[in-house]
A and B are shown apart, each in its own frame.
Chain A
Amino acid sequence: MIGLLELRRRKLQFGLIALVVTLVSYLVLMINGLGVGLNIQAGSVLRNFNADGIAYSDNAGLSVIRSELSSEAVTAIADADGGDRTAPLGYVAANYRRTSGVVKSAAFLGFVPGTIGEPDLVKGRILAADDERALLADSRFLAVADLEVGDTVSVTVRLVTEEFVIVGEIDEGAFFFQPAVYVLLSTWQRLRYGESGDGQPAASIVLVKGGDLVPGEGPGYKIVGKGTAFNNIEGVQGQQSTVQALRVFGFVIGGLVIAVFFYVITLQKVTQIGILKAVGASSMFVFRQLVIQVLFVTSVAVAVSVLLAWATALALRQLPDGVPIAFTTQTYVLTVAGLFVVGLLATLISGRQVLKVDPIIALGQQQ
């Protein structure tokens, strides 16, 4: 194939193009990785809930932070569902002190052991009913805080500092860009509202699994699916649309880079294309060579950029406060497919130029 032979003989020229496409492709991958990473940081805990829906107080505007459910509402939701597939959950942000002395924030989630609100344990043990000063910490929390199961951590909320023993490790992710920590619901109530008193909310939200309650509403509460709940996490919509805009820009810029480079190359080769056509090559034959070259350059660039992105993600994970960039197989596949599509679309511009080349040019004449 002439297209491949040209690639082989013009390594420097095509190598430079591949380098630029690699950088653009790397940028697009990183933007997509950022989108996934931000999603994980924003609410992977919510996505990992063993539930189909989440009940909020009806005046909370689907905000976990603002939602406060009374014990009557929690009971009403449980009764509406039959009672065995709901679980009250409390949320409060609290500061903890790392062993290094640095103060960081964590998402404290109060749950009732034995319900669907109980997280899956990776190491250690689950909380017992009397574990008022114990917690289950996410793997990431332990890693960045340099803590492990059995350690004690001081937690500050509402100007009060308490010591907690880490009794178990979980892998539920993050909530509101903070690592997740699970405590008993009663502990959450104390942290959130102080020592017991009448009229305190019984939970922030209630997890609902199965049944026909999702979506739905009742006296004082509103139930939505996990997808809706995730999209209503504060800042997620804006963050996702920003990432989406960057993603689109990335693809457009990638397409333009490929289009411009190959268009310039095509313009430089007008006489050669004319000669090929003069000796009997069809426009389709010439265009095919162009497509082969674009596919080859894009393949090399994408392969290198995927490796680079993977290595970058690996390196970023080693940092104590990781940059929120994460890759899934789907991220790689969709980004790579997208880059190939824009690359091929970009060749259409050069293809139009190929069609316009008149073989008479080989005789040094213009019609």
Chain B
Amino acid sequence: MNETLLLSASGLSKTYGSGETAVAAVRDVDVTARRGEFIAIVGPSGSGKTTLLAMIGGLLTPTSGSVMIEGRDVAKLGARERARYRRESVGYVFQANNLLPFLTARENMTVVAAIGGGDRRAAGRRADLILEELGISNRTGALATELSGGERQRVAIGRSLMNDPALILVDEPTASLDSARGRQVVELLAFEVRSRDKLGIMVTHDDAMASLADRFIELSDGSLVGAGSSG
């Protein structure tokens, strides 16, 4: 594991609304993490797990606090810079049905390169390579709607790796999978994160899946209530 800190979030808070209707989704959370780590964020529904993930991934702007990634504060980036940050530094794996249904498995991966204006052929070669590694090279030309839940998540993992980002953020990746397939997907994720020296952060409410991570962070009512090694 690389000992240099990749993520250093401190005093992170997110409040929705204002006045009497204000809801504090995340309260004063500190998180640090290094490359090569695979971390699980656990907690009950509504505890602020996804909000925390979204702030780290540049999808939400914190109400207060900072999210330092590779030396820059993501919380202070403008809309365009945040889009660029998400494109270049973050790979997302969302819940099921997160692929574009009218694109094939391969196109769903190369679309990330197309957004960034990258070389199409190089992106295609990289997509083929990753699909091969993920064991679904035989489904390259299948439309997203023709893929099984497990295959879709593998393609989503592949898409998250396309731009070789430092961070892989994962939101409930096993939500629509049975436990065996879910476990396979998370194991694959953990393997890719560790072997590629990325930082992986996974939101899950499933303890069995969290146990596959290196360590966990537990939230309750938006506050950090526990942390430790998994397994």
Q: How far is the CA of A272 from the CA of B116 in the complex (A)?
A: 17
Number of interface residues of B (CB under 8 A): 35
Question: B94 to A280, Cβ gap below 8 A?
Answer: no
Q: Which residues in chain A, 1-15, are within 8 Å of chain B measured between CB atoms?
A: 1-2, 5-6, 9-10
Q: Which residues of A contact B98 (CB under 8 A)?
A: 275, 362
**A10 touching B59, Cβ below 8 Å:** no
**Contact A2 to B114, CB < 8 A, known contacts A9-B102, A277-B83, A364-B95:** yes
Chain B residues lying within 8 Å of A9, measured Cβ to Cβ, are 102-103, 143
Interface digits, B77-99 against A, CB 8 Å rule (1 contact, 0 not)?
Answer: 00010011111101010110011
From B47-55, B187-195, B218-226, the one touching the partner chain is: B47-55
CB distance from A284 to the nearest CB of B (A): 9
Task: Render A257-290 as a binary contact track against B, CB cut-off 8 A, 1 for contact.
Answer: 0000000000000001001111111100100000
Is residue B115 within 8 Å, beta carbon to beta carbon, of the partner chain? Answer: yes
Known: A278-B86, A280-B115. A5 touches B54 (CB 8 A): no
Query: Number of A residues whose C-beta is below 8 Å from B?
Result: 23
Is the CB of B112 closer than 8 A to any CB of chain A?
yes
A5 with B53, Cβ < 8 A, contacts A281-B83, A285-B115 known: no
Given contacts A10-B102, A280-B86, A285-B115, contact A365 B143 (CB under 8 A): no
B204 to chain A, nearest CB (A): 14
| Chain A residues within an 8 Å CB radius of B54 | 360, 363, 365
A359 interface residue (CB < 8 Å to B): yes
CA gap between A365 and B95 in the complex, in Å? 12
The answer to whether A363 and B111 have CB atoms under 8 Å apart is no
Q: How many A-B residue pairs have CB under 8 A?
A: 76
Residue pair A359, B50 in contact (C-beta under 8 Å): no
Please tell me if B29 contacts chain A, counting CB pairs below 8 Å: no
Contact B111 A2, beta carbon cutoff 8 Å:
yes
Q: How far is the CA of A285 from the CA of B50 in the complex (A)?
A: 26
- Judge whether B171 and A279 touch: CB under 8 Å: no
- A363-B50, A365-B54 are known contacts. Are A279 and B102 too (CB-CB below 8 A)? no
Q: Are B103 and A5 in contact (CB under 8 A)?
A: yes
Within 8 A of A (CB), among B18-69: 50-51, 53-54, 57, 59-60
Q: How far is the CA of A320 from the CA of B92 in the complex (A)?
A: 69
B103 touches A279 (CB 8 A): no
- Specify which chain B residues have a CB less than 8 angstroms from the CB of A278 in the assembled complex: 57, 59, 86, 92, 94
**A367 on interface, CB distance cutoff 8 Å:** yes
Q: How far is the CA of A122 from the CA of B114 in the complex (A)?
A: 62
In the complex, the answer to whether B50 meets A365 with C-beta atoms within 8 Å is yes
**Shortest beta-carbon distance from A266 to chain B in Å:** 14
- A10 and B111 CA atoms in complex are apart in Å by 18
Q: Which residues of A contact B60 (CB under 8 A)?
A: 360, 367
Interface residue? B159 (CB, 8 A): yes
Interface centre among A5, A280, A360 (most CB of B within 10 A): A280
Docked complex: A280-332 residues within 8 A CB-CB of B: 280-282, 285
* Cα distance, A364 to B171, chains bound together (Å): 10
Given contacts A2-B114, A360-B59, A365-B50, contact A275 B94 (CB under 8 A): yes
Q: Is B128 an interface residue (CB 8 A)?
A: no
Q: Which of A10, A278, A279 has the most CB of B within 10 A?
A: A279
In whole angstroms, what is the CA distance A147 to B222 when docked?
Answer: 94
Q: Is B159's CB under 8 angstroms from A279's CB?
A: yes
Decide if A363 touches B102 in the complex (CB within 8 Å). no
Q: Are B102 and A362 in contact (CB under 8 A)?
A: no
A277 proximity list for chain B (CB < 8 A): 83
For residue B226, give the distance in angstroms from its CB to the closest CB of chain A.
Answer: 23
Known: A5-B102, A360-B54. A279 touches B115 (CB 8 A): yes
For the complex, give the distance between the alpha carbons of A1 and B159 in Å: 17
Contact A280 B88 (CB under 8 A): yes
Contact call B100/A279, Cβ cutoff below 8 A: no
CA distance A281 to B90 in the complex (A): 12
Q: Find out whether the CB atom of A367 lies under 8 angstroms from the CB atom of B92.
A: no
Q: Which A residues are CB-close (under 8 A) to B95?
A: 364
Q: In the complex where A278-B86, A279-B86 touch, is A365 in contact with B114 (Cβ < 8 A)?
A: no
- Return B135 CB to nearest CB of chain A, in Å: 22
Neighbouring A residues of B84 by C-beta, 8 Å? 280
With A5-B103, A5-B107, A272-B100: A363-B94 Cβ-Cβ less than 8 Å:
yes
Chain B residue at minimal CB-CB distance from A10: B102
Complex CA gap A129/B59 in Å reads 91
Residues of A within 8 A of B57 (CB): 278
10 closest Cβ pairs, A-B complex: A280-B87, A9-B102, A280-B86, A281-B115, A360-B59, A6-B102, A282-B83, A359-B59, A363-B50, A363-B171
Beyond A5-B107, A279-B159, A280-B116, 13 additional pairs, beta carbon < 8 A = A2-B103, A5-B103, A6-B102, A275-B99, A275-B100, A279-B112, A280-B84, A280-B112, A282-B83, A359-B86, A364-B94, A364-B95, A367-B60
Chain B positions near chain A (C-beta within 8 angstroms): 16, 50-51, 53-54, 57, 59-60, 80, 83-88, 90, 92, 94-95, 98-103, 107, 111-112, 114-116, 143, 159, 163, 171
The contact sample of 10 A-B pairs, CB cut-off 8 A, is A6-B102, A276-B111, A278-B86, A279-B112, A280-B86, A281-B87, A362-B59, A362-B94, A362-B98, A364-B94
